[in-house]
Amino acid sequence: MPSRLTDAFRAHPVHLHHKHLDFTSLQELPDSYKWTQLDDHAHYPSGGAESVPVIDLSDPNAFKKIGHACKTWGVFQVTNHGFPSTLLDNTEKASKSLFCLPIQQKLKAARSPDGVSGYGIARISSFFSKLMWSEGFTVVGSPVEHFRQLWPQDYTQFCDIIEEYQMEMQKLAARLMWLMLGSLGITKEDVKWAGPKGDFEGASGALQFNYYPACPDPDRAMGLAAHTDSTLLTILHQNSTSGLQVLREGTGWVTVPPIPGGLVINVGDLLHILSNGLYPSVLHRAVVNRTKHRLSMAYLYGPPSSVKISPLSKLVSPSQPPLYRPVTWNEYLGTKAKHFNKALSSVRVCAPLNGLVDVNDHSNRVKVG
Ligand SMILES: O=C(O)CCC(=O)C(=O)O
Ligand SMILES: [Fe+2]
């Protein structure tokens, strides 16, 4: 499967040059990194009293709380999720040591224009005229090829950590899928592609490490511009520096504070489609910090490559017609590579019925070029 996901990216090359990545040499924010209000959603206020729900997975009411969080926020944090904490620590250490390598070393593992794995700037950079204050590393499938270039002597220990991380994340993602779908009344019979054991056997994930160095002028810089994820769901671990923000209708940007051992769960575009628009895929971004670096690790979870994702039949009725046409993950990634934040509207077949707001129509408020 990973090779199929790789194919989707190969079909939609992104030509980015990676030469701006030596942040350590920059004492001042260059103009090419200075974002204005027009470049993003800077005109939305930050703050507000509301906060993203935190849900303890050992709480007997977790199920109900997840459904409510998905409907009203499209994002929540989980604690007591059972993901091994030493594995989180070791993976964070591995990615920190990756980003701390000299730039020339990191560039040996640079992502090629038509590739998906490797080191480089955010793929969404091509939609913006300004550069983002971050660097990234993506792993799809085995990391061995790139890790050998980064750490010729001791790459195997890093590979072991990452492979275990992918395996554990896949298990947690399947569990979260059922909690999120179950809240909509969806059972294993309704999702044939979840496989006979209901463990989403053929599903797969990409691992995205993001590093945001301390920035001399954080108020004018942008770590990662506003976007939704092209996934079913995303599981994000962040280090102790805050920076992730989600856009809350009527409130503005809300910071998702790091909580020790907590994981952030986002509804992605494909779960939005599957839920026939009931769960919004949350618009989010990362801002940067003057004195502290920030690190995040996102597990981007998607369906098997052959599966067409469309609104689940239980969620469709004459009064709730399907809002989206069926798409595979690969097709959707292609649409995203072309239309970015307008991708969801481009696969929509039906306008929301009277009185229903299309929670994901960001097209009128996102500048994409
Ligand atoms: O760094 C973060 O908190 C956000 C990362 C993110 O949104 C992504 O990798 O898609
Ligand atoms: Fe994201």
Each residue's pLDDT tens digit, 109-143: 999 888 889 999 998 998 998 999 999 999 999 99
Q: For residue 208, give the ligand 1 atom closest to its CA.
A: 9
Confidence label for 61 from pLDDT (cuts 50, 70 and 90): very high
Atom of ligand 1 nearest to the CA of 256: 3
Q: Which residues are near ligand 1 (CB < 6 Å)?
A: 208, 210, 224, 229, 236, 238, 243-244, 284, 286, 296, 298
Q: Residue 366 has what pLDDT?
A: 36
Interval 44-54: pLDDT, tens = 556 667 899 99
pLDDT, one tens digit per residue, over 181-229 is: 999 999 999 999 999 999 999 999 999 999 999 999 999 999 999 999 9
Residue 26 is predicted with a pLDDT of 84
Instruction: Please state the rounded mean pLDDT for residues 271-276.
Output: 98
Locate all alpha helices (DSSP H) within the chain, ordered by sequence: 2-10, 62-72, 85-99, 103-107, 144-150, 155-182, 269-274, 329-339, 343-346
* Cβ proximity of 101 and 150 under 8 Å: yes
Question: What is the rounded average pLDDT for all residues in the chain?
Answer: 89
| Total-model pTM | 0.92
Mean pLDDT of 55-77: 97
pLDDT of residue 365: 41
Helix (H, G, I), strand (E, B) or coil at 204: strand
d(CA 159, CA 164): 9
Catalytic, 10? Answer no
Complex prediction ipTM: 0.99
Q: Which pLDDT score, from 0 to 100, does residue 19 have?
A: 58
Residues 6+ away with beta carbon under 8 Å from 313: 190
Residue 289's contacts (CB-CB under 8 Å, 6 or more residues apart) are: 212, 214, 215, 218, 241, 242, 243
